[in-house]
């Protein structure tokens, strides 16, 4: 839990503000012949403490104070907006080779507490993302997941929608040379007692042309072929059909994506 680091810390911040308030003031959006001040950004930096102050056109003052590395890998962030006090929040981030944790709490009487964390390596990891509303005593968000991966296989299990949806997925690279891969995903929604199983595959016909196809247990099939006819420019033809009602449901699409 973190609310106010210490009195010394707050005093320091005040002192820095006065000492450096004329430094590093940048403004953008000043139009010729008009008194129009879009944004003022100030950044005050001292050792590992960075204070960002931003004033927008509606005279809202956004302040973010970041303390880097009070302990290795740790970062604390305090941000608030004046006059809207409800926007204030304190945040704690911890980044390490094998763990990433972020926690935040609103600076109000009945704050929302957010927590997310991932622990693991490139081969296996578990994580969670939650949001707890202290006013109602309810979790407004509760997601968790785990994954395993190696050079040619990724498997994952995730729990979403506050525990109502469980998804297991599996992705296997059959041939790296032709980008051939197969995958399957099973999603179960407990509240509606619904299971969806989807199979998919992809394959590169040549280095510039890829085909993908998938089918689910409700008989919906789709396929696409994508060709890179110029670097970063893709031509895609896709089709979708509900095999239980072919005449009504067939759809064909053509898409062209151009990138400079
Ligand atoms: C600032 O960060 C460095 C590492 O980047 C750390 O060694 C040092 O203790 C930090 N200083 C303070 C005052 O937190
Ligand atoms: C918690 O997360 C939600 C979105 O998931 C966000 O809208 C809210 O501002 C966050 N609250 C805090 C205190 O960080
Ligand atoms: C808290 O959650 C329960 C079940 O998830 C729900 O019935 C209840 O209405 C919620 N309370 C509030 C205040 O949102």
Closest ligand 2 atom to the C-alpha of 140? 5
Q: Kindly report the protein residue whose alpha carbon is nearest to atom 13 of ligand 3.
A: 136
Contacts of 52 (CB under 8 A, 6+ apart): 41, 42, 43, 62, 63, 64, 65, 66
> Which percentage of the chain shows pLDDT scores above 70?
82
Residue 260 pLDDT: 62
The shares of helix, strand and coil residues in the chain, as percent rounded to the nearest 5, are 10, 60, 30
Please give the mean pLDDT across all residues of the chain: 80
DSSP annotation string for 108-121? SSS-EEEEEEEEE-
Ligand 1 pocket, residue 47 CB under 6 Å? yes
Residue 239 pLDDT: 92
**Residue 21: pLDDT band with limits 50, 70, 90:** very low
Binding pocket residue ranges, ligand 2, CB within 6 Å: 89, 104-106, 112, 114, 131, 141
Ligand 1 pocket, residue 219 CB under 6 Å? no
Mutation to probe ligand 2, out of 77, 90, 101, 104 (largest number of atoms < 8 A from CB): 104
| pLDDT tens per residue, range 160-201 | 998 899 999 999 999 988 889 999 999 999 999 999 999 999
Residue 26 pLDDT: 41
Mean pLDDT of 37-58: 75
| pLDDT tens per residue, range 94-139 | 888 888 889 998 888 888 999 999 998 888 999 999 999 988 988 9
Q: Are 76 and 64 spatial neighbours (Cβ–Cβ below 8 Å)? A: no
Q: Is 179 helix (H, G, I), strand (E, B) or coil?
A: coil
Q: Is the pLDDT of residue 144 over 90?
A: yes
Ligand 1 pocket, residue 48 CB under 6 Å? yes
CA distance linking residue 70 with residue 94, whole number of Å? 11
Cα of 46 vs its chain's centroid, Å: 30
Q: Kindly report the protein residue whose alpha carbon is nearest to atom 3 of ligand 3.
A: 138
Residue 237 pLDDT: 92
**Residue 19: pLDDT band with limits 50, 70, 90:** very low
Mutation to probe ligand 2, out of 64, 76, 102, 112 (largest number of atoms < 8 A from CB): 112
CA distance linking residue 137 with residue 112, whole number of Å? 10
Q: Are 67 and 81 spatial neighbours (Cβ–Cβ below 8 Å)? A: no
Residue 39 pLDDT: 58
**Residue 40: pLDDT band with limits 50, 70, 90:** low
- Cα 157-190-116 angle, rounded to 5 deg: 45
> 249 — phi, psi (to 5°)?
-110, -5
> Which percentage of the chain shows pLDDT scores above 90?
37
From the CA of 112, how far away is ligand 2's center (Å)? 7
Residue 85 pLDDT: 64
Q: Is the pLDDT of residue 11 over 70?
A: no
Q: Are 200 and 183 spatial neighbours (Cβ–Cβ below 8 Å)? A: yes
What do you get for the CA distance between the two ends of the chain, in Å? 48
DSSP annotation string for 6-75? -HHHHHHHHHHHHHHTTSSEEEE-PPTTS----EEEEEEEETTEEEEEEE-TT--EEEEEEEE-SSTTEE
Mean pLDDT of 26-30: 42
Tokens of 206: 């040549």
């Amino acid at each position: 839990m973190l609310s106010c680091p210490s009195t010394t810390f707050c005093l320091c911040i005040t002192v820095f503000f006065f000492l450096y308030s004329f430094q590093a003031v940048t403004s953008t959006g000043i139009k010729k012949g008009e008194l129009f001040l879009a944004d003022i950004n100030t950044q005050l930096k001292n050792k590992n403490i960075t204070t960002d102050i931003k004033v927008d056109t509606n005279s809202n003052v956004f302040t973010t104070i970041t303390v880097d590395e009070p302990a290795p890998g740790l970062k604390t962030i305090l941000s608030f907006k004046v006059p809207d006090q409800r926007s204030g929040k304190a945040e704690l981030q911890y980044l390490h080779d094998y763990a990433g944790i972020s926690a935040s709490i609103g600076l109000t009487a009945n704050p929302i507490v957010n927590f997310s964390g991932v622990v693991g390596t490139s081969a296996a990891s578990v994580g969670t993302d939650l949001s707890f509303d202290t006013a109602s005593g309810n979790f407004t968000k509760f997601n968790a997941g785990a994954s395993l991966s190696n050079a040619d296989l990724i498997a994952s299990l995730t729990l979403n929608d506050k525990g109502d949806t469980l998804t297991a997925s599996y992705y296997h690279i059959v041939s790296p040379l032709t980008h051939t891969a197969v995958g399957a995903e099973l999603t179960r929604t407990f509240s509606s007692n619904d299971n969806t199983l989807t199979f998919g595959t992809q394959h590169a016909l040549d280095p510039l042309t890829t085909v993908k196809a998938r089918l689910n247990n409700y008989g919906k099939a789709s396929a696409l072929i994508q060709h890179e006819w110029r670097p970063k420019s893709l031509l895609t033809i896709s089709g979708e059909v509900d095999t239980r009602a072919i005449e009504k449901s067939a759809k064909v699409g053509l898409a062209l994506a151009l990138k400079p």
